[in-house]
Structures are given as structure tokens and as C-alpha cells.
């Protein structure tokens, strides 16, 4: 969707400096030289000369070190204001950081009440890596979790808002997907209530260490 985003930016009256623009390098484009070329193509499609955040989409085992080395060069040129990763485990982050000069700014991972990622969250906080949660509302399945519904009723909020608020209070950035204007507005209405310690504990106990998404690190 880079071409569509680039077109929208050009047609918008919003200054580029007021936008936060991020993109990713896909598995088939990983490796040092491939990543540099892929990034240049992304800039062309986005019709910009820099991005605010550039991410590795998946940790392809034999390539992510060289991919990140290219991203460090892109960062040094000023063409990416920050660089990071997606779907990296604690072990993969530790390995990457052992061979890198720049600590990833972000690790974007699947995280929701059935996959709390506690070990990864603690590692990220220790190393000042911002976690971002994708699929935070479990494709809408949080609406079927009685504990979240009950907590929501206590705050006059939906189970979706409770799930998002739980992540925010853990220090996790959330990126819920929606194309419905009303739901997008509701996803922003997270800052006029706070979950109690007891409510946070109830949600923590929902963890099943069960991802909904597929591991695509083997796909090139």
C-alpha cells in the first residue's frame, strides 16, 4: 500500500513533518544489498526522501543481521529517523544486539490477552525497546471474553477498549486495525479511564501463550 500512501501524502495539505511514516522490508527483500535497494524503492513509492520508522517484517534466520546492518546505514544517512524489527523473540533480539551498533527502537509483535509476551516485555523494558502490539483485539475475539466484558461494563467501556487499555498500561503501543470511523474513534477513547491493579491481574491470568498469527520467518 506504499503507492496509495504516497499519493495520499501528496494530495494532503498536512506537512510531511507533521506525519509519522513507517514502512517495512519484506522477507524476500532481506539481506544487505537487497535491503538498500528495497528501501530506495519504498521511498519512490511513498514519494518522500525519508521515513520515520523502518522495520524488518520478520526475522529471516540467515538474513536478519545483514538486513539490520543495511538499516543502520540508512539510519546513518538520515533517511530513517528510527529503525526496528517485528516478530523478534528474546533470543533473536539478543543475537541481533550482539552484532549491531544501534538498539532497535521498536519490536512489533502479536500481543493480546491470550498472548501476553511477559518475558519479551520485560526484556524490551530493560533495553528501552518499545513494543508495539499487532492483533491486540484478537480480530474482535476479545468481545467474547467474559472477563473483559465485565470489566468494560464497570467502566462503561467495551471489551475492545479494555484490551487496548490493558496494553497501554503495560507500556505497549497498540495498532488495532479498523476501517470503520466509529470504531477508530472508540479505539482512541482509552485515556479517560484506568484499570485497577486487580483488573490488570484478571487480564494477566487470561494468558494462554497462544498466538493467532502464523510464523512467517521461514517464508521468502
pLDDT digits (tens, 9 = 90+) for 131-157: 999 999 999 999 999 999 999 999 999
CA 14 to chain centre: 24
Phi, psi of 208 (to 5 degrees): -120, 0
DSSP annotation string for 188-200: H--SS----HHHH
- Residue 162 is predicted with a pLDDT of 98
- Residue 214 is predicted with a pLDDT of 75
Residue 170: is its pLDDT beyond 90? Answer: yes
Q: Report all structural domains of the chain as residue ranges with CATH numbers, in order of start.
A: 1-104 (3.20.20.100)
Q: How confident is the model at residue 179 (pLDDT cuts 50, 70, 90)?
A: confident
Residue 211: is its pLDDT beyond 90? Answer: yes
Amino acid at each position: 500500500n506504499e503507492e496509495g500512501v504516497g499519493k495520499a501524502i501528496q494530495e494532503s495539505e498536512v506537512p510531511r513533518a507533521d506525519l509519522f511514516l513507517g514502512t517495512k522490508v519484506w522477507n524476500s527483500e532481506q539481506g544487505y544489498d537487497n535491503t538498500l535497494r528495497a528501501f530506495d524503492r519504498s521511498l519512490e513509492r511513498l514519494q518522500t526522501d525519508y521515513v520515520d520508522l523502518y522495520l524488518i517484517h520478520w526475522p529471516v534466520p540467515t538474513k536478519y543481521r545483514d538486513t539490520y546492518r543495511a538499516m543502520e546505514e540508512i539510519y546513518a544517512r538520515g533517511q530513517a529517523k528510527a529503525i526496528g524489527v517485528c516478530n523478534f523473540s528474546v533470543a533473536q533480539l539478543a543475537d541481533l544486539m550482539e552484532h549491531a551498533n544501534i538498539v532497535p527502537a521498536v519490536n512489533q509483535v502479536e500481543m493480546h490477552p491470550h498472548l501476553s509476551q511477559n518475558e519479551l516485555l520485560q526484556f524490551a523494558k530493560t533495553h528501552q525497546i518499545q513494543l508495539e502490539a499487532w492483533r491486540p483485539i484478537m480480530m474482535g475475539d476479545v468481545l467474547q471474553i467474559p472477563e473483559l466484558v465485565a470489566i468494560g461494563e464497570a467502566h462503561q467501556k467495551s471489551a475492545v477498549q479494555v484490551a487496548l487499555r490493558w496494553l497501554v498500561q503495560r507500556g505497549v503501543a497498540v495498532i488495532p486495525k479498523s476501517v470503520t470511523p466509529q470504531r477508530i474513534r472508540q479505539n482512541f477513547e482509552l485515556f479517560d479511564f484506568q484499570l485497577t491493579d486487580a483488573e490488570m491481574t484478571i487480564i494477566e491470568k487470561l494468558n494462554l501463550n497462544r498466538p493467532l498469527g502464523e510464523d512467517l520467518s521461514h517464508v521468502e
